[in-house]
Structure 1
């Protein structure tokens, strides 16, 4: 938990964040709250914040920040977020949108058994990038490892994508954050960085890494 808006029948939304944070820390100190309730760490020290950004191996996605003097404003974006991103290689297994200029790419990695696993999807590609990638893709055919699969339109959604399968031979480099889903895929869309014709699918790190 990183904020408290109501406490003991009192509306705290007009309080500055520094005062709400103090109330939240007092609540945790006075109440034996246990998991899944956890007090999110907070700091005003830049050096401490920079150290936290090195904790990606522990699953830290990034940092949220807010002015200490601001009240809570419903339906307004009062928090900023800085995400830690890394570049990773993945294999293009399918795409959405027109064949001449794909809109997004569906990415995979092989697991240790040799099965191509879906690991994530890119953000919407610029048309120039989509046309450049399209020239390097070939149809997947009936033996494609994802034949019969469905893919969610977004994380946690029941809506499915209309996809075109392609032969899993093209490797791309993408920028991803450290958030993972329950099976090890990338939770948030990846940003296409560049095409990697110099890298073979077999050289891509295994799924889940």
Structure 2
């Protein structure tokens, strides 16, 4: 079975995997958000997030269902034609070993910070394009982008992302099938959207956009 064309039974199971992956992200985010500053690098935040999720696996209060989940950071991409240090790496991979084929959820993370870490880096090479060009998660029906917000508001950055989607004729590499829509898999991750795309090989991709708010002072005003 090709995973990017899953059968109905596998897709039903994957829906539960999606929920569990979001719960792991929510736990990790809650555990590290107080230590992240506007100056921390992407690699630092990803490392802390991965470590926090890994610690949750050993927590006695974590439900037994999560014993089948595993997390990897900076995971090598097996199918890309490169070797050694030149091999591409996915920022975060959360996999489930309870069924076969094993579902995996791959995330690419990007900082969002005014002036230095723009929304173009999020949508460009090293960001969304890693999925759209079949560099990452090529066998999976879904993948995710994590935005580490270090200034301005989630709504501000969403509007920036929306502008790029609205002007997609200027950037046909986005291959948009369905535009951004608000979703909420978990209430603890309130800033999330979904878009649908065609990858460079013609396969379908559902892409989730999860914005994690790491501003030094989280304010209610939309700036």
* TM bracket (short chain): under 0.3
Higher Rg of the two aligned structures: 1
- Give the number of the structure whose residues are more often helix, by fraction: 2
